[in-house]
């Protein structure tokens, strides 16, 4: 159902109200589902240095990247042996590079470098990609996803990032750096989203950030109507969704929520799962739960006889 665009205030109120009703009606079920999925599946095997077979994504929804999120990223990059590259989604002022690296030093990263290509030619050069080819973790900062797309999509850097995952490493991003990770990216637009290509590190998915803080459920729904087989991943601020790619496992850490929009299947419409910090689920299990769910049968109202109605 589409809402006319000539009343932005009404639309915003509908989105806010929809999110509130969504949490009230689905939060208990989502938490129960997450708990059942966690207890029914065997934990993913981790390598000795903390990495996960198949690689991982750490998708941060914006706002504050908490130390816990950074520490999880470093663990997935190999812990004390992590080799991390930071790619900014803007151009740091000359001499300010260390400010971008300092938060990672605080969580114990020693092998750390910033790589910032100012154009596509640089992003395709072997010299620029050298650090990426030895990295166990790559973090893409917040900033401007237009800048990231213009410089890195369909370049050697994109292939290098896919190589990090093949080496069981981790790629993460915050805000713009999160949006660019998926196959289809929401480039801009609050009421009418504008679509663009992302880095395709998680296929058949659309990522949106600042999700609850900026009431973006509506624009995600519009994108999923255009791509009905895709999974929607909406992550709120100060929160990260960790995706273990090989296992298809989702886990959440942070202060708010992540929403997984499961696409429709057969007679089952789309479904939204609300995940909180500590939840750990398999996408395959979410799909099974979706297919198994049967809505309660409608309660038939008793028929009132005409004579009784007259007597009343």
pLDDT tens across 232-254, in order? 999 999 999 999 999 999 999 99
Look at residue 303 in the predicted model and tell me its pLDDT: 66
Radius of gyration of the chain (CA): 22
Q: How far apart are CA 159 and CA 153, in angstroms?
A: 9
Q: What percent of the chain has pLDDT over 70?
A: 77
Q: How far apart are CA 114 and CA 117, in angstroms?
A: 10
Neighbours of 152 (CB within 10 A): 23
Q: Compute CA distances 147 → 82, 115, 200, whole Å.
A: 27, 14, 16
Query: Which positions ≥6 away from 266 have C-beta within 8 Å?
Result: 291
Q: Compute CA distances 225 → 269, 270, 273, whole Å.
A: 11, 10, 17
pLDDT tens across 70-93, in order? 999 999 999 999 999 999 999 999
pTM assigned to the model: 0.79
Look at residue 263 in the predicted model and tell me its pLDDT: 81
Query: Which positions ≥6 away from 269 have C-beta within 8 Å?
Result: none
Q: How far apart are CA 267 and CA 68, in angstroms?
A: 40
Look at residue 293 in the predicted model and tell me its pLDDT: 55
- Tokens describing residue 14: 């509908």
DSSP assigned state of 63: S
- Tokens describing residue 52: 């996960």
Instruction: Specify the higher pLDDT residue, 255 or 39.
Output: 255
Look at residue 190 in the predicted model and tell me its pLDDT: 76
Instruction: Give just the sign of the alpha carbon dihedral 175, 198, 4, 225.
Output: negative
- Say if domain 9-293 classifies as CATH 3.30.2290.10: no
Residue whose pair of structure tokens reads 């979410």 in the numeric block: 286
At 35, the pLDDT band (50, 70, 90 cuts) reads very low
Instruction: For 298, list phi and psi in degrees, rounded to 5.
Output: -65, 140
pLDDT tens across 266-303, in order? 666 678 899 999 999 998 788 676 555 555 667 777 66
Q: Averaged over 181-195, what is the pLDDT?
A: 88
Q: How far apart are CA 148 and CA 179, in angstroms?
A: 10
Q: How far apart are CA 181 and CA 177, in angstroms?
A: 7
Give me the DSSP letters along 204-220: EEEEESSTTTTT-HHHH
Q: How far apart are CA 2 and CA 53, in angstroms?
A: 42
pLDDT tens across 189-208, in order? 877 889 999 999 998 899 99
Query: Which positions ≥6 away from 260 have C-beta within 8 Å?
Result: 231, 232, 233, 250, 272, 273, 275, 281, 283, 286
Neighbours of 38 (CB within 10 A): 17
């Amino acid at each position: 159902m589409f809402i006319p665009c000539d009343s932005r205030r009404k639309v915003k109120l509908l989105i806010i109200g929809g999110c509130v009703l969504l949490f009230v009606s689905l939060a208990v079920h989502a938490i129960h589902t997450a708990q059942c999925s966690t207890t029914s599946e065997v934990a993913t095997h981790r390598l000795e240095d903390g990495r996960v077979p198949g690689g991982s994504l750490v998708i941060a929804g914006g706002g504050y990247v908490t130390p816990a999120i950074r520490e999880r990223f470093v663990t997935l990059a190999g812990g004390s042996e992590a080799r991390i590259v930071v790619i900014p989604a803007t151009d740091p002022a000359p001499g300010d590079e260390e400010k971008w690296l300092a938060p990672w030093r605080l969580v114990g990263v020693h092998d750390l470098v910033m790589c910032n290509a100012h154009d596509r030619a640089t992003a395709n050069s072997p010299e620029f990609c050298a650090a990426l080819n030895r990295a166990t973790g790559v973090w893409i900062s917040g900033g401007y996803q237009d800048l990231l797309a213009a410089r890195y999509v369909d370049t050697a850097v994109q292939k290098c990032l896919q190589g990090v995952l093949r080496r069981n490493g981790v790629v993460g991003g915050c805000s713009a750096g999160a949006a660019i990770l998926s196959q289809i990216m929401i480039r801009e637009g609050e009421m009418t989203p504008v679509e663009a290509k992302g880095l395709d590190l998680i296929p058949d998915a659309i990522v949106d950030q600042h999700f609850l803080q900026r009431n973006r459920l509506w624009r995600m729904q519009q994108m999923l109507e255009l791509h009905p087989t895709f999974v929607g991943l909406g992550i709120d601020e100060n929160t990260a969704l960790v995706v273990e790619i090989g296992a298809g496992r989702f886990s959440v850490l942070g202060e708010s929520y992540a929403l997984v929009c499961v696409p429709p299947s057969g007679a089952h419409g789309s479904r939204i799962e609300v995940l909180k910090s500590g939840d750990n689920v398999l996408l395959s299990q979410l799909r099974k739960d979706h297919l198994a769910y049967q809505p309660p049968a409608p309660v038939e109202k008793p028929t009132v006889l005409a004579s009784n109605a007259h007597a009343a």
